[in-house]
Structure 1
Amino acid sequence: MSTMESSNEIVSTLVNENPKENFLSASDILIKFANNILNNPNEPKYKKIRIGNPAVQNKLLNSVGAMECLFLMGFEEAEDGEHLVLPSGKSLQPIRDIRDGLLQELAKLQTSQQHGQIQQGGRQALSQNSSFEGQRLSQLLASEMQFSGRIREGMKRVLQYENPSTQEKARLVIPLESLQQEAEKSFQSAQANGDLKQDTRDFLLLALLKWFKFTFFKWVDTLPCNKCGGATQHNGNVPPSSEDLRWGASRVESHICRVCQVDTRFPRYTNPEKLLDTRKGRCGEWADCFTLCCRALGFEARYVMDWTDHVWTEVYSSSQLRWLHCDPCENICDKPLLYESGWGKKLTYAIAVSKDEIQDVTWRYSAKHDELLTRRTLCREPWLRQTIHSIWKKQISTLPQERQKELWTRLLCELTEFICIKVDDENLPGRSTGSLAWRQARGELGICAPIGASPDSNNSNQNGFLFKPSAREQQSKLIHVRYSCAADKYQRKSTGDEELLGWEKGIFEQNSICRKEELDWKMVYLARSEGSTSAEITWKFDLTGTDLKLSKMEFKAQSSVFENGKVSWRICAGDSCLFPTVASLQDFAKFDLDASQILMVTASLKGGSGDQAWQHTQLFRQSSGDKDGYPFDIKVMLI
């Protein structure tokens, strides 16, 4: 395809795939960029565009095809990742072709006099209103137009999942028989345990999610070198080819080999049929392909667009009569607070779309509705509600009456669910997919973050909690404390089973400790923060202010190590310290204590190998279902 043909194609995309308002604003800035270069070909400042420029953010990034116009002009991503640059020596003809194509399309629009008069009148009215409120309204209207455009883009996207031949292709790669067998076993096990909420289809969904994550799809940070197979690094973007655009890859990354300097292209495909072949990508590709697989197996599925840069899937459970959150990147189902509570995301908008309907599902994913509302500034709430519901009614109007009635009933149930704010009582993990640096840059590591990842991470605890004897404990001369990692709570047996919720609530100090939950293996434990080389955690018992002193203790502290990881314990009473072996603490060990009033029990974690070294030292590892087990148990006898 010639440069002119490519230009015509991408300009056509810009015109046809966007609302007129988006096209007008995008073409306006693109023509300015082009004229600046064509009129000043030797001026370097016109050949560098800051990606964070408000005009780029507001007019180009939210318009389908706009950034592709820049890439076809010859712009490339700079090494700093913050600018687009036009390399010296590039031909100016592609720039001229793009500009002329845009001018032709603008001329066509001007033939509609009524539209031109209305728009001109609107512009004059806005320009005359110089007040802050007038400017704010203008900005808000433009923002709402962009918001509406993204919704329409998502609704068009989900129609790809409905192609019968594409669904058939998906069924050919899904090992349905083995997944059904796995689902049946899980269903029978659940029935035996008295769990009657789920049916075999729910367990089939879980099996599909697990297969997709661990067998079928692959996460990509950077691709291996096409020539030598060596490691590569991101080297900006390159213009998409006609074949890339055919499969929806308007963005193509360049991954340069660190050894042989060969450039490996990584097209970011949005066509789910193509993704059945490539089987790799990041969250966008994962959600596209997984949603297709759900539809291929007859699940009702929705594609969820998150305005804080993530996407996932929702699947309707006929047995539970509700939508289930499914994140294929993480192999997580029905944990909607994962992003806010686990990853630490500051959510704003999450819009779910399917072939039949659309819904603002943000409220399902937050336990902090009041806080969330303060961040929803892109559009007016009444406008959003009206827009969503208007589109929803239009979507279902073509469906059979019985189906319409079903969807109305679901809508009422879903809105009722949104009104009931969730209780954030789970310790959810940070993001696991993607490189550590990438996740840290996005602020999605959660509580198992590396040292210094964020000021509010749990890398150090300033609580300084002290176990001081109550009147009851002074009388019984016993302090008995135990901790369940599965339930994430301390139980103070010596005070009538008083409870402290949260591992960090009962510690005196800690450094680089987090609680890790393995959702696939259903195990929980305390470990080092990701990326750390060592960690410590201390519990303190303080008898000062009483006439009592330490006498003896019985202590159990179960731990697990892998590779060359090492856990060591230190028990200090006054000026004397004991160093029991890990093996001796797997069950209760007895110790005589120095007759002092201060007892400190400290665990040190270090060692391990490779990228997962932080996970090779584990305290109190137990099954997440073992709510009655207490792998950490201390009985302190007093005199």
Structure 2
Amino acid sequence: MAPVFTTVKQLLEENSEQQFLDAARILIKFADNVINNPNEPKYRKIRLGNPTVESKLLPVAGALECLFEMGFVEDEEFLTLPGNTSLATMRQIHSELNKYVQSMEKVNGPSSSQPAASPLTSVTTRAPPNPPQNTPTSATTRAPPNPLQNTPTSATTRAPPNPLQNKSRQQITEMERKFFAKIENNLIHVVIYEDPRLQQKARSIIPVENLKTEAHVKLETIKKTDSSAMTSIDFRDLMLLELLAWFKNSFFHWVDAPKCDSCGGETQNVGMAEPTTDEIRWQANRVEHYKCNRCQRFVRFPRYNHPEKLLETRCGRCGEWANCFTLCCRSVGFEARYVLDWTDHVWTEVYSEVQKRWLHCDPCENVCDKPLLYEAGWGKKLTYVLAFSKDEVQDVSWRYSAKHTEMLSRRNECRESWLIQVIHRLWKAREPQNSTQRNEEMKNRLLTELVEFMSPKSGDGQNLTGRSSGSLAWRLARGETGPPTSLNTEPYIFKLSEVERKSKVFHVKYNCARDEYIRISKNGEVTKSFSACVNKQQNVFRKEESDWKMVYLARSEGSTTASLSWKFDFTGMEIDNVEICTSSQTFENGVISWRLCSENQCAILTDAAEVKSYRELCGAEEMTLTVMMSGGKGDVAWQHTQLFRQKMDNMEFYPLDIKVYFK
């Protein structure tokens, strides 16, 4: 169905006949003014606060859509028709509206308000129509789907309630106006990432050659370990992981409250300040105001929104992180989208050519391809998640939730059909900018994406945890430390296999360069990620130093203390002797303390690059290994306690090595 006919049909079907007639006549008048006076600026502006517009147009479903389809765009309190807009579509809509109005007036008279048969009555009803079907095979159906749209209802799978059912038409229209303005603002913003000069500036800062070298090294390692993996991952994917790690660990840093620029003391927020001309130039319309607890000076913290400025400041919160990281991705040739979560978070998506799908990338957390992190790990109640690029805006909410029905019940800022139509219209507006080949490529990608959205994911086995970026108080205030009881993985406990019971030996070790555990006594079983086998952890992340070619576990930036513990349950077997290597390193006045405890006994361990023997736990059937990190000096105190520090290419040495012999 042609888009023009679709918008007029919606206007006709979703309202009473009198509402349709009133709105149609106003729309015809607006179109008449422009068509008859194409060079008159005053007819190209519609004030949204006009009483007639407010009472007769805004409350009517489909009326704003008709204006947008004609070519009008939001311009603060006005709708404006740009001077270079073709009037062809406007003439089509004008003709369609005239046709229906005349047919109704022919039956009931020009001023009749009595109901009459609609010209479409034979094929339609007055109930709100379903959103367009979710296949991109025609020009009108290229928007993200409602994954529940075709779900059959039953006593156990009822459709969720309409969250907008208690809102008036005028309230809904006003909410949708604001929603559209938010979409439009972000579409305008992402064009900045395409600036060649800005991309060059970013490339001059990014250690591209070093990242490529590291990606090639890891690629060769993967080839040797698992040659079949090369069909699902390539150099570009590994390059993305290197870029993500560099950005998190070496380039950008998190700011909860800025340090005093005079004495370096801690500061306290005291409200907001007026932005200066230069701050506004760099899109810092919000400036936080702080006061130093030590010297009482005031400190400004502009929330810059221009990625060029962020390449210089290299700091901020999630908005600044995602903004700058998306630019960095575009600068090194990745196709990237800026992703906005309506519940107040932002991140990036990068397209993988070999995997033929979009990968979730959160630079604040150094996390890739874990889209359920926010719902299952942080405990967020997601609503709308939209992705923006120079080519498109897409509703990608369904990728980030395993609970589609629950999420749909919270989506109360616009009608689902309206959102689909808006996204489709914006897509169509960008098609002429691209080649036929590019448009076909985009259509194929979307088809794959729609199929992905239809199948909710599971977060099982992904080690999804609460947020790590930001202070604990900040994370608690936002409710992003994760659910009280984990929805994904329980704290890990090592338990004996039958093979280990028979051999009376338990042996596990960890290599930080590989970021993997190997269970020697369990047929060489391998587990990726240091946190996967940890029982408890606080303020710890894996740090890679690209310049020094070193890797280690460190405290989260800005934290004063951190801890890790590993728990072992040997029920039915009594410990005879424990041999442990805990190779770590401190700088300045950093402190690392190790403790190995059973229920009744503890042994204090010393950092050493070689295995040491401990018999203090003899007779126990369980044990816990705990390490505490604290101390250090200055802003980089968090780096002065380093666990398992080793060269990135050292794949043979295991700085954590635990071997238990049983009686």
Q: Counterpart amino acid of 2:184?
A: R
Does residue 1:553 correspond to 2:589, yes or no? no
Q: Is residue 117 from structure 1 mapped to residue 56 from structure 2 by the alignment? A: yes
Q: Does the aligned pair in 1 maintain the 2:58–2:173 contact within 8 Å?
A: no
* Residue matched to 1:174: 203
Q: What do the CA deviations read for 1:492-527 (whole angstroms, capped 9, x no partner)?
A: 85xx999999999999xx7x5469551647979899
Shift of 1:353: 0.7
User: What displacement does 1:357 show?
Assistant: 0.8
Q: Is the 8 A contact 1:187 1:200 kept in 2?
A: yes
Aligned residues: 493
The offset of 1:271, in angstroms, is 2.5
Equivalents in 2 of 1:614, 1:182: separation in Å? 22
Could you say if the C-alpha distance between residues 445 and 491 of structure 1 is closer, same or farther in structure 2, counting changes exceeding 3 Å?
farther
- Asked if the contact 1:527–1:618 (Cα under 8 Å) also holds between the matched residues in 2, the reply is no
Q: 1:280 aligns with which of 294, 315, 336?
A: 315
Q: Secondary structure at the match of 2:337?
A: strand
Choose which of 622, 625, 644 in structure 2 pairs with 1:600. Answer: 622
Tell me how far apart the structure 2 counterparts of residues 224 and 581 of structure 1 sit (CA, whole Å): 36
Q: In structure 2, how many angstroms separate the alpha carbons of the residues matched to 1:375 and 1:488?
A: 41
Q: Give CA-to-partner distance per residue, 1:167-209, whole Å, 9 cap, x none.
A: 3144135337951354145326514642645555545545544
- Give me the whole-angstrom Cα distance separating, in 1, the residues matched to 2:199 and 2:248: 15
With normalisation by structure 1, the TM-score equals 0.61
For 1:220-619, list aligned pairs within 5 A. 220-369=255-404, 372-373=407-408, 375-420=410-455, 421-428=457-464, 430-445=466-481, 455-456=484-485, 481-483=506-508, 513=537, 518=542, 520=544, 539-543=568-572, 550=574, 553-561=576-584, 562=586, 563-571=590-598, 579=603, 587=611, 589=613, 599-606=621-628, 608-610=630-632, 616=641
Deviations 1:534-561 (A, max 9, x none): 7876544444xxxxx85x6353444344
AA at the equivalent of 1:238: A
Task: Kindly provide the amino acid, as one letter, of the partner of residue 270 in structure 2.
Answer: N
SS in 2 for 1:256: strand
Where does structure 1 lack aligned partners over 5 or more consecutive residues? 1-105, 123-131, 447-453, 544-548
Please give the residue correspondences for 1:125-204 in structure 2 after superposition, counting only pairs within 5 Å.
135-136=166-167, 142-162=174-194, 164=195, 167-175=196-204, 178-180=207-209, 182-184=211-213, 186-187=215-216, 189-191=218-220, 193-194=222-223, 196=230, 201-202=236-237, 204=239
Give 2:188's aligned amino acid: K
- Counterpart Cα distance in 2 of 1:619 and 1:178: 25
CA apart distance, 1:337: 3.9
Query: 1:157 deviation in Å?
Result: 1.6
Q: In the aligned structure 1, how far is the partner of 2:313 from the partner of 2:494?
A: 56
Letter in 2 for 1:599: E
CA pair 109-329 structure 1, distance change in 2 beyond 3 A: closer
The code of the aligned residue for 1:234 comes to N
Name the SS for the 2:621 alignment partner. Answer: strand
SS of 2:56 mapped into structure 1: helix
Q: Would you say the 8 A contact 2:270–2:290 is kept in 1?
A: yes
Structure 1 116/354 Cα, relative in aligned 2: closer, same or farther at 3 Å?
same
Deviation at 1:591, TM superposition (A): 5.6
In the TM superposition, residue 437 of structure 1 has moved relative to its aligned partner by 2.9
Moved more, 232-241 or 363-372: 363-372
Q: Is the 8 A contact 1:558 1:619 kept in 2?
A: no
**TM-score, length of structure 2 as denominator length:** 0.59
Per-residue CA deviation, residues 304-340 of structure 1 (Å, 9 max, x unaligned), is 1012211122222334433233333344444434434
d(CA) in 2 for partners of 1:535, 1:177: 32
SS at match of 2:630: coil
Give, in angstroms, the shift of residue 354 of structure 1. Answer: 0.8
SS of residue in 2 equivalent to 1:160 = helix
Code of the aligned partner of 1:117: K
Which SS does the other structure have where 2:595 is aligned?
strand
Whether the aligned pair in 2 keeps the contact of 1:564 and 1:609 (CA below 8 Å) is yes
Q: Match for residue 5 of structure 1?
A: none
**Cα displacement (A) at 1:356:** 0.8
Residue 254 of structure 1 and its aligned partner are, at CA, apart by 1.1
Counting aligned pairs with the same residue, the percent is 36
Q: CA deviation at 1:565?
A: 1.8
Amino acid at match of 1:553: D
Q: CA deviation at 1:272?
A: 2.7
C-alpha displacement at 1:404, in angstroms?
0.9
CA deviations on 1:544-597 (whole Å, 9 max, x unpaired) are xxxxx85x635344434444322122457xx8x584855799658586997x7x
Determine the C-alpha separation between the residues in 1 that align with 2:405 and 2:50: 48
Q: What residue identity is the alignment partner of 2:216?
A: F
Higher relative contact order (CA 8 A, sep 6+): 2
Instruction: Return closer, same or farther for 1:332/1:382 CA change in 2, 3 Å cut-off.
Output: same
Residue identity opposite 2:542 in structure 1: E
The 5-angstrom pairing of residues 208-223 of structure 1 reads 208-214=243-249, 216-223=251-258
* Residue 516 to residue 219, structure 1, CA distance change in 2 (3 Å): closer
Displacement of 1:301 in angstroms is 1.9
User: Aligned partners of 1:335 and 1:405: how far apart in 2?
Assistant: 28
Amino acid corresponding to residue 323 of structure 1 in structure 2: W
TM-superposition CA deviations, 1:136-171 (whole Å, max 9, x none)? 465655544433332222112212333x4xx31441
Change (3 A) 1:307 1:227: same
Change in 2 beyond 3 A, CA 1:514/1:427: farther
Structure 2: distance between partners of 1:330 and 1:590: 37
Greater mean alpha carbon deviation, residues 194-203 or residues 178-187: 194-203
Instruction: Please give the alpha-carbon distance, in whole angstroms, between the structure 2 residues aligned to 1:469 and 1:206.
Output: 34
Q: 1:23-102 to 2 correspondence within 5 Å?
A: none
In structure 2, the partner of 1:70 is none
Aligned equivalents of 2:306 and 2:504: distance in 1?
62
In structure 2, C-alpha distance between the alignment counterparts of 1:608 and 1:178, rounded to whole Å: 31
CA deviation map 1:249-300 (0-9, x unaligned): 2211112233333323222222234434444332222322332333344432
Q: CA deviation at 1:414?
A: 1.9
Distance 1:612 1:457 in 2: 31
- Structure 1 residues 536, 514: closer, same or farther in 2, change over 3 A? same
Unpaired segments ≥5 residues, structure 2: 1-44, 62-162, 224-228
Does 2:649 correspond to 1:634? Answer: no
SS in 2 for 1:174: helix
Q: Which amino acid aligns with 1:634?
A: V
Q: Secondary structure at the match of 2:623?
A: strand
Aligned partner of residue 296 in structure 2, secondary structure: coil
Which string of whole-angstrom CA distances, capped at 9 and with x for unpartnered residues, describes residues 428-461 of structure 1? 5654443343234334445xxxxxxx74379x99
